[in-house]
């Protein structure tokens, strides 16, 4: 029998027993234990809500948890699930059918009934804002590399390693395996390519087919293919076409994979026809903040963005999938090569311009590689500014694509005849965002004078302009001659407002 002294020494050696504790956090999203698949569900999706709480060794093998989803009107729905405790984690998932678009507050609580005596009872809950977008308007926020502090990423085209891909996949983000495309493929005999270009291109096509069809690392959703393009008639363009022909084969044979392609420069009709067949996401690189001023000596970055779309992308109906094409086209902005040249206000202005010229575009892409190169001397100040730029990109996607985004678009004010020879001043308010808006008020003016206000209880979100706008009307009496008509959005609580004012000149006989 052990003496009391010996037992005391044994207990001191082992130390005090570790008290049970369950802890859950949601921020930052990619480091948190509350996440959804997909990140941005759409109406009619079944959303998987997953919990990965930390758990000490003294926690029981199973723990009850609860998920509550609260809509904008304050109505809540509660879902129960059981978490399994193993390896320091309490994990489980529950499915929720997303029936109605809107911004939902998602709150998860582990050990909601306090059945487990814990050392800290205040760290058992976490919250997320969970948007559900309108059916037909699935959104994409694509990054080249993962930014682990961001919230709204839907796809990373160059996931760094197995560990990072696993984290992205757990949090509902498509993690893609990076590959070179044709334009930058440099491992070939250039002299032979000049003598026998078709033979070399045929070898390229076979090489890329092998790359695109081979098995992918675990947790990869598909391929992110960088640097396709090339000036029309160049060998780089021909090499890109060879790689895209191979991509079409891969898309046909493995249609469940995601294929995202980064295209540099303007787009030729020849390349466009292959993108239409092969790419799920076509990312039009603009480099407006670094390469346009330094390499191209461009002054008008807005015209550069416009020229990426016109005339080929619009002319070939490539903004959203059409006529059997899988292709979503997104403008891609450079945010890391020279962040010291990016003013946050101008950055928002650029995003607003993209929304204005292409309101049907279903998202945006950000190229976030190259920091520390291109002549930049890294300092704590540039590190801090880069972090601010990356955070702004994340926020601007939410503000201008996910939230209700109301706008008086170009030519959205007109004069309309009604019965009895009368007239109405009409303003069309569009919702370019992913969810229905709340109330909106518009002030209507003629020749600078207010003639009335018109209101709508909501502006619906929809897949197209056929359903995502309201017409606000004001009867007017006009004398013969020229008049200036004007509409102003004067209130839109809870919505982002893109263009608040539009005018129209008319002549009344």
Question: Residue 16 pLDDT more than 60?
Answer: no
d(CA 40, CA 153): 9
pLDDT classification of 184: cutoffs 50, 70, 90? confident
Strand-pairing partners, residue 207, are none
d(CA 109, CA 310): 50
d(CA 281, CA 185): 21
Per CATH, the homologous superfamily of domain 406-508 is Immunoglobulins (2.60.40.10)
pLDDT, mean over the chain: 93
What pLDDT is recorded for position 15? 42
Cis peptide before 38 (omega within 30 of 0): yes
What pLDDT is recorded for position 18? 59
Fold match, 20-132 / 406-508: yes
What pLDDT is recorded for position 181? 87
**Phi, psi dihedral angles at 184 (to 5 degrees):** -100, 10
Exposed, middle or buried: residue 294 (CB in 10 Å: 0-12, 13-18, 19+)? middle
Question: Residue 146 pLDDT more than 60?
Answer: yes
Is 477 in contact with 149 (CB distance < 8 Å)? no
What pLDDT is recorded for position 186? 75
Question: Residue 12 pLDDT more than 80?
Answer: no
Q: Looking at 50-54, 155-159, 229-233, which range is the least confident one?
A: 229-233
Proportion of the chain above pLDDT 90, given as a percent: 90
Question: Residue 9 pLDDT more than 50?
Answer: no
User: Of 469, 481, 463, 411, nearest to 437 (Cα)?
Assistant: 469
Strand-pairing partners, residue 449, are 446
And the tokens for 428? Answer: 């069309």
Alpha-carbon dihedral of residues 3, 6, 7, 13, nearest 10 degrees? 180
pLDDT classification of 415: cutoffs 50, 70, 90? very high
State the CATH class of domain 20-132: mainly beta
Q: Which fold has domain 140-402?
A: TIM Barrel (3.20.20)
What pLDDT is recorded for position 13? 39
Proportion of the chain above pLDDT 70, given as a percent: 96
Q: Position of tokens 């390229």?
A: 204
Number of other residues whose CB lies within 10 A of the CB of residue 250: 21
pLDDT classification of 46: cutoffs 50, 70, 90? very high
Q: What is the pLDDT of residues 357-413, one digit of tens each?
A: 999 999 999 999 999 999 999 999 999 999 999 999 999 999 999 999 999 999 999
d(CA 276, CA 258): 14
Q: Give 185 or 449, the one with higher predicted confidence.
A: 449
221-243 mean pLDDT: 93
Alpha carbon 380 to its chain's center: 28
Question: Residue 334 pLDDT more than 90?
Answer: yes
Domain ranges of the chain: 20-132, 140-402, 406-508
287-296 mean pLDDT: 96
């Amino acid at each position: 029998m052990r003496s009391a002294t010996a037992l005391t020494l044994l207990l001191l050696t082992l130390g005090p027993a570790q008290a049970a504790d369950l802890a859950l956090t949601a921020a930052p999203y990619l480091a948190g234990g509350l996440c959804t698949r997909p990140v941005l569900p759409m109406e009619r999706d079944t959303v998987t809500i997953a919990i990965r709480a930390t758990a000490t060794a003294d926690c029981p093998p199973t723990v009850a948890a609860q998920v509550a989803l609260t809509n904008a009107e304050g109505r809540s729905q509660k879902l129960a699930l059981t978490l399994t405790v193993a390896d320091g984690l309490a994990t489980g998932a529950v499915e929720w059918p997303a029936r109605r678009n809107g911004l939902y507050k998602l709150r998860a609580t582990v050990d909601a009934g306090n059945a487990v005596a814990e050392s800290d009872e205040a760290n058992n809950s976490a919250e997320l804002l969970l948007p559900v977008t309108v059916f037909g308007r699935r959104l994409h926020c694509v990054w080249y590399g993962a930014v682990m502090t961001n919230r709204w990423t839907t796809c990373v085209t160059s996931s760094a390693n197995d560990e990072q891909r696993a984290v992205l996949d757990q949090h509902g983000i498509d993690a893609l395996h990076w590959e070179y495309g044709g334009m930058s493929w440099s491992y070939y005999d250039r002299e032979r390519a000049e003598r026998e270009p078709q033979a070399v291109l045929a070898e390229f096509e076979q090489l890329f087919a092998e790359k695109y069809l081979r098995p992918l690392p675990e947790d990869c959703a598909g391929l992110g293919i960088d640097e396709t393009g090339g000036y029309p008639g160049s060998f780089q363009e021909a090499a890109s076409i060879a790689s895209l022909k191979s991509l079409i084969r891969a898309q046909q044979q493995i249609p469940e994979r995601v294929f995202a392609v980064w295209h540099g420069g303007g787009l030729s009709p020849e390349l466009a026809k292959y993108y239409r067949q092969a790419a799920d996401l076509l990312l039009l690189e603009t480099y407006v903040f670094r390469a346009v001023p330094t390499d191209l000596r461009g002054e008008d970055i807005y015209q550069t963005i416009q020229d990426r779309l016109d005339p080929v992308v619009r002319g070939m109906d490539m903004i959203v999938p059409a006529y059997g094409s899988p292709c979503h086209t997104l403008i891609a902005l450079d945010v890391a090569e020279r962040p010291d040249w990016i003013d946050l206000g101008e950055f928002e202005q650029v995003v607003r311009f993209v929304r204005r010229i292409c309101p049907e575009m279903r998202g945006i892409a950000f190229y976030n590689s190259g920091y520390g190169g291109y002549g930049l001397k890294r300092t704590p100040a540039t590190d801090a500014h880069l972090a601010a730029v990356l955070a702004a990109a994340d926020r601007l996607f939410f503000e201008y694509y996910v939230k209700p985004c109301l706008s008086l678009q170009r030519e959205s004010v007109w004069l309309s005849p009604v019965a009895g020879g009368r007239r109405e001043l009409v303003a069309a308010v569009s919702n370019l965002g992913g969810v229905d808006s709340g109330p909106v008020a518009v002030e209507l003016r003629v020749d600078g004078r207010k003639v009335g206000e018109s209101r709508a209880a909501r502006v619906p979100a929809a897949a197209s302009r056929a359903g995502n706008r309201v017409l606000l009307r004001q009867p007017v009496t006009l004398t013969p001659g020229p008049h200036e008509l004007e509409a102003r959005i004067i209130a839109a609580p809870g919505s982002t407002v893109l263009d608040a004012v539009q005018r129209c000149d008319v002549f009344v006989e």
